[in-house]
Structure 1
Amino acid sequence: MDATTITIIFIVLSALVAVVLRKIKKDKCLKDFRDDMVTLELLNGQQYKGELKLKSSGLKFDYPELIKDEQSLKFLSFLLYKNEYPDIQAVVRYHHDLTAEGKKLRQEDFEKTFHPSRWRRLRRSILNFFKIIKDAVIEILNLMTSHLSKTTPVGAAISSNDREVNKMKNELYGLVETSYEPLLEDYIGERVILELKKGSEWVKYNGVLKDYTAEFIELIDVDYALETSGRIDADLIVLRKYGIVRNLSE
């Protein structure tokens, strides 16, 4: 097999891998709410309630019933594209909107979060370890690629297509959740106070820190009611740029 054939095969495989990785990558906080009835709150005050369908390119909300506007236009769903995520105020999962099965699954998940098993703690510690050494792994892969390019014909053919190689590397690195925040790690599974920016004010909420990613923070078992009303149990996903975990609570 000559170098040209190897190059063509490598480029094709790189493109296929890149497409597949982009399709399967989804935010792990948003994954927790998929297929549940949730309410999307946007910064402009608009709200959309529907069953959440999570796609790699954005969010889909299937309305529980047909909606008509003042022009008699009919709506069955609402789409929020990934580039519109900065417009999110919060994704709220009200407990009273869940089905009986949904409430059961949520309660089981809550117990695992609030009282994690040794295996769950160990698994998270291992994943965090890999996040920490990510840069070292990248450097090792770069050294291996450089070595192969100098010692083997296949490596030489691959190295002649640095752009494709780097593209595939970036896709692989991007697939792995690399957000690691030592301060937040100490509070996973603990009750915390979240400060959420709403307009010009910061509103405080008490809840259990379930997880976080580079973009989002997930808080469960939250009283999301207004100060003037009774308790309304909910779970929240908010953007980290608007939500800050500030205190440990009880």
Structure 2
Amino acid sequence: MIHPPHAFLAQAADAGAASWFAWAADQALALTILVIFGGAILSAVLTQWRRDKCLKLLRGDHATVVRLDGGVLWGDLIVYPKALELTFDAPFVTTRGLVKSGVMLPEADVAGVHLVARSAAGLTPAEQRHRESQIRRTFRPGLLRRWLRTGRNLLNTLRDAFGKALSAILSAVTRNPRAAALADQKAGVEGIGQQLIGAAGNAYDPLLEAHVGRPVVVKLRCPGLSKPEAPVAVDVPGYLVDYSDAWIAVFNVDHTPLEALTLEATAGQPADADPRVSVTKSPAGRLGVRNPGPAFVLVRSVDGEGDPAGAGGDAADLDAVVPPGATLWLGVDPAGSTRVRLELTERLDLVIPRGQVVVRHAGDRVEDPRRGRPARARGLAPRDAGAGGHEPPGQPTPATAG
């Protein structure tokens, strides 16, 4: 009897698969040891070196970290896999003579971060060039960058399929009695495989992915202005740069401020009054800059700052960002008046925990010729743009409104 060619090919494929599984079963102990040690080493390397891709955008730059309790810290940002560190612009010397040159934020403290901000005004020329390069790569990505992003998104979409395929392979191999060693470690091997697949993958959100590199308006929660029964949020414009499971990055190309202010505060006397920012000074030399919103406040410099920067009465550059509801505290010379140079702005580079922000609106319309949809010349937008009520212009709004 003559068999057709495809029958021989099918038999050869079945024989090859059977011989492969037989070989895997014979080498089960060696393969188990190799997979466990190799997977553990690779997993440890990935854990040590993998950092959140949104936080990495600000790594090494002068940045401000704002805590949920309203505290403001600033300095050069160092990003670790699960922690952050800020190196102060100048060492802080306490009244006891202790020198503090930076602050460390372990994983528990990172969970209490409200946002991380960067202003172009506080960057060195090298940091500004690095930022411009980030913006070019994000808003005008090359072909290779687009392919890599598409590949990572595809891998993340098929993560469950890869995991099930790995489980099926292990189940097929462990059916052989000679693979008892592998069967005992099946759960551990599957766990290592899932961890490696997860490390290579990426957070994927089809809605956010469609707006990467495009203008958006996000709603930022303001813990310092909120009450448990009445959460408050402000609208912040920018370009969606990237997102991960835990963070969202929103940048602005132009950081031109809305207005520049100079306020003076003297201990024991009313400070310069301005409804958009509050500057106070205590007799002990404690200076506070509180932002009632809705714009961000950039503290450019302070005259007479003492201990934190060792300025000895000269102007000290801070370039620290104070979001709505937060307060920046400084130790200054209690004698005389202290001059604070400020800028009001809505446009910064922000990396925000996803629990504190919602990407709610598309920004300025960007026509995509691939969609073939011409812009409408006439029309009206919904009055309740926040999907819950009209927003008074220039005021913080309830977080539940959008």
Give the TM interval when normalised to the shorter protein: 0.7 to 0.9
Candidates 58, 78, 102, aligned match of 2:83: 58
CA shift, 1:74, in A, is: 2.1
Q: Which has the higher helix share?
A: 1
- Secondary structure at the counterpart of residue 153 of structure 2: helix
- Any idea what the Cα deviations from partners look like across 1:174-215, whole Å, max 9, x if unmatched? 313431111101110001001110112101110010000000
- Any idea what the Cα deviations from partners look like across 1:7-48, whole Å, max 9, x if unmatched? 555544443333222212211111111111111100111111
Structure 1 partner of 2:149: 124
Gaps of 5+ in 1: none
Structure 1 partner of 2:207: 183
Matched, 1:114 2:112: no
More divergent stretch after superposition (227-236 vs 34-43): 227-236
Structure 2 partner of 1:215: 246
Matched, 1:206 2:237: yes
Candidates 194, 217, 224, aligned match of 2:218: 194
Structure 1 partner of 2:353: 239
Structure 1 partner of 2:310: none
In 2, the alpha carbon distance for the partners of 1:116 and 1:10 equals 37
CA shift, 1:151, in A, is: 4.6
CA shift, 1:72, in A, is: 4.2
How many residues in Structure 1 have an aligned counterpart in Structure 2?
249
**After superposition, where does 1:35-46 map in structure 2 within 5 Å?**
35-46=60-71
Matched, 1:174 2:191: no
Amino acid at match of 1:39: T
Structure 2 partner of 1:26: 51
In 2, the alpha carbon distance for the partners of 1:81 and 1:60 equals 8
CA shift, 1:166, in A, is: 3.2
In 1, the alpha carbon distance for the partners of 2:146 and 2:88 equals 37
Amino acid at match of 1:236: L
- Secondary structure at the counterpart of residue 230 of structure 1: strand
In 2, the alpha carbon distance for the partners of 1:59 and 1:7 equals 37
Structure 1 partner of 2:318: none
Amino acid at match of 1:188: V
More divergent stretch after superposition (232-241 vs 6-15): 6-15
Structure 1 partner of 2:183: 159
Contact 1:14 1:164 in 2 (8 A): no
Amino acid at match of 1:235: D
Gaps of 5+ in 2: 1-25, 227-231, 256-294, 298-323, 325-341, 365-402
Amino acid at match of 2:208: L
CA shift, 1:171, in A, is: 2.5
More divergent stretch after superposition (68-77 vs 137-146): 68-77
Matched, 1:101 2:172: no
- Any idea what the Cα deviations from partners look like across 1:116-160, whole Å, max 9, x if unmatched? 33443333222212211111111111111212223595x542222
Contact 2:84 2:110 in 1 (8 A): no
Contact 2:216 2:362 in 1 (8 A): yes
1:150/1:90 CA distance change after superposition, 3 Å: same
Contact 2:163 2:194 in 1 (8 A): no
More divergent stretch after superposition (14-23 vs 228-237): 228-237
Q: Greater CA radius of gyration, 1 or 2?
A: 2
More divergent stretch after superposition (30-39 vs 104-113): 104-113
Contact 2:29 2:182 in 1 (8 A): no
Amino acid at match of 2:354: R
Contact 2:152 2:201 in 1 (8 A): no
Contact 1:159 1:165 in 2 (8 A): no
In 2, the alpha carbon distance for the partners of 1:52 and 1:19 equals 24
In 2, the alpha carbon distance for the partners of 1:69 and 1:208 equals 41
